[in-house]
Amino acid sequence: MPLSEVKGFTEEELKRYISADPDLRSKVPGDSASWTVKEVGDGNINFVFIVEGEGGKGMVVKQALPYVRCIGESWPLTEERAMFETTALVDEHAMCPDHVPEVYKFDKKCSAIFMEYLAPPNIILRYGLIDGVVYRHLADAVSTFMATTLFKSSLLNLPSDEYRKKVSFYSDNSPMCELTEQVIFTDPYGDAFHNRHNSPHLDAEVAELRRDAGAKIAISELKHKFCTHAQALLHGDLHTGSVMVTDTTVSVIDPEFAFYGPMGFDLGAFLSNILLAFFASDGHEARPGDRDEHRAWLQSCVRDVWNQFQNKFIRLWNDKAEGSSAFPDLLFGEAAQDGAATKQLCQTTFLRQVFEDTLGFAGAKMVRRIVGVAHVQDMDRIEDEKRRAECERRALLFGKRLLIGRAAFQNIEEVVSEAAALR
Ligand code: ADP
Ligand code: SR1
Ligand code: MG
Ligand code: MG
Ligand code: MG
């Protein structure tokens, strides 16, 4: 079989593949015999190889096989996801180059992406958070990534024909959207085969969730919005396992769920994972109070990500040239009667809706990580299951509160205060 059709690379096959492609070859220094190839995939879905040459330089190769890795071949999944991930990485890199790795090549036949290696000291943000590390530069970088990619890909920035072409292209990533529809918006609220929870400790809470009409109405509204509101190009899976950090840099990886959806879905994904880290932190303390400083920073991170996102988003909107065809400046340009004031009202109304969506999606994502198929290591690494249950119970309760009560929060400060009061 030609190398370009290999399903499931071996280390030797990968070395030969890279050696045979001059562009790829130039990225890995030294004799290929001395290269190391390691499979490092710790995500739920794909296989990821690091190919390292002299001086630790090299590349990452991510391969999509036709099933969900953490479940196995019994859960088939389209290999086309690798093409959408490649396109999204390229689009995101063009919009926000400081925070997205570069793609070197995509091979459709073997569903493989060859990309920039974020070498150590880069680590997955989730692992740093579990270890209690504080990243003071995180909120600035993540809010920049979200404000930039969400604004620039939206109808606020693009001409409507270009916007529609993008919506249409990404709408073919439908199987990945359907996976999300199932595991976030449907399964957690019923008795689905792959659901799991910390039983018997959370049995009562899970039974209550599945009887809760308010939660079901809220999740239905959000599912409808997820499927119908093509507002911007979303990353689609922006949890803390999709972010790599050093002391000074932040990079966003893994946009295989990319599609045009509601902006609050990405914002909610990130904030929910910071909140999950916050509720898990008690379980990682050797002595009560050990993580006080870390918790205070996690709270400030929730606040700063939202506030900075909002400020940066408005700045991008205002910087859009007057007279451009961008919606809604076309209707409410500064030259129109009351144009400036009306534009400001439009912006406030728009961001209020994004805020409510953000809280709702954040709640949905907290709930699914406690009672659905895919949990988070922030909780799973708490060995004592009773102690873990205490952390999970509070996270589940707060997730429900955000999901059902999203319209009642006036501002992000109220969210942070309620989370702190519940802990
Ligand atoms: P999945 O889609 O299965 O979740 P990810 O894209 O999240 O796969 O990658 C899994 C792991 O591979 C990451 O947690 C990270 O450790 C590693 N990884 C992925 N991309 C890179 C990269 N560009 N540089 C360094 N490591 C990476
Ligand atoms: C089978 S569900 C797997 C989950 O992992 C991915 O990273 C997404 O979050 C997806 O929902
Ligand atoms: Mg991942
Ligand atoms: Mg770069
Ligand atoms: Mg992924």
Alpha-carbon distance 39 to 327, whole Å? 46
Nearest residue CA, atom 5 of ligand 2? Answer: 44
| pLDDT at 172 (0 to 100) | 98
In the numeric block, which tokens belong to residue 58?
């090299």
pLDDT digits (tens, 9 = 90+) for 266-314: 999 999 999 999 999 999 999 999 999 999 999 999 999 999 999 999 9
Residue 171 has pLDDT above 80, yes or no: yes
DSSP state at residue 54: G
DSSP state at residue 234: E
Give me ligand 3 centre to Cα 208, in Å. Answer: 31
pLDDT digits (tens, 9 = 90+) for 11-57: 899 999 999 999 999 999 999 999 999 999 999 999 999 999 999 99
Set out the domains of the chain in order of their start, with CATH numbers: 3-116 (3.30.200.20), 123-422 (3.90.1200.10)
Residue 202 has pLDDT above 80, yes or no: yes
Binding site membership of 85 for ligand 1 (Cβ less than 6 Å): no
Residue 193 burial (CB count, 10 A): 6
Alpha-carbon distance 146 to 350, whole Å? 16
| pLDDT at 74 (0 to 100) | 96
Alpha-carbon distance 65 to 261, whole Å? 25
Residue 323 has pLDDT above 60, yes or no: no
Listed in sequence order, the residues at least 6 apart from 81 whose beta carbon sits closer than 8 Å to its beta carbon are 45, 64, 111, 173, 175, 176, 256, 257
Of all residues in the chain, the percent with pLDDT exceeding 70 is 94
Side-chain-side CA neighbours of 409 within 13 Å: the count stands at: 26
Q: Determine the average pLDDT of the residues in 176-182.
A: 98
Pick the range with the lowest mean pLDDT from 85-99, 342-356, 406-420: 342-356
Integer CA distances (angstroms), 91 to 84, 87, 101, 113, 259, in order: 10, 6, 11, 15, 12
6 or 235, greater pLDDT: 235
Alpha-carbon distance 106 to 86, whole Å? 7
| pLDDT at 368 (0 to 100) | 99
The pLDDT mean for the chain works out to: 95
CB 110 within 8 A of CB 80: no
Give me ligand 3 centre to Cα 378, in Å. Answer: 15
Alpha-carbon distance 335 to 315, whole Å? 19
pLDDT band at 3 (very low <50, low <70, confident <90, very high): very low
Residue 90 has pLDDT above 60, yes or no: yes
Pick the range with the lowest mean pLDDT from 178-182, 227-231, 339-343: 339-343
Q: Which amino acid is at 60?
A: V
Alpha-carbon distance 257 to 128, whole Å? 24
Listed in sequence order, the residues at least 6 apart from 365 whose beta carbon sits closer than 8 Å to its beta carbon are 184, 239, 268, 269, 272, 273, 399
Q: Determine the average pLDDT of the residues in 138-161.
A: 96
| pLDDT at 196 (0 to 100) | 98
Give me ligand 5 centre to Cα 316, in Å. Answer: 29
Q: Which numbered atom of ligand 2 lies nearest the CA of 68?
A: 1
| pLDDT at 330 (0 to 100) | 57
Q: For residue 74, give the H/E element and its range.
A: strand 72-76
In the numeric block, which tokens belong to residue 355?
């805020």
Residue 321 has pLDDT above 90, yes or no: no
Q: Determine the average pLDDT of the residues in 81-104.
A: 98
pLDDT band at 332 (very low <50, low <70, confident <90, very high): low
ipTM metric: 0.98
CB 56 within 8 A of CB 119: yes
Q: Determine the average pLDDT of the residues in 107-125.
A: 97
Give me ligand 3 centre to Cα 242, in Å. Answer: 5
Binding site membership of 41 for ligand 1 (Cβ less than 6 Å): yes
| pLDDT at 328 (0 to 100) | 58
Residue 6 has pLDDT above 50, yes or no: no
Alpha-carbon distance 24 to 44, whole Å? 27
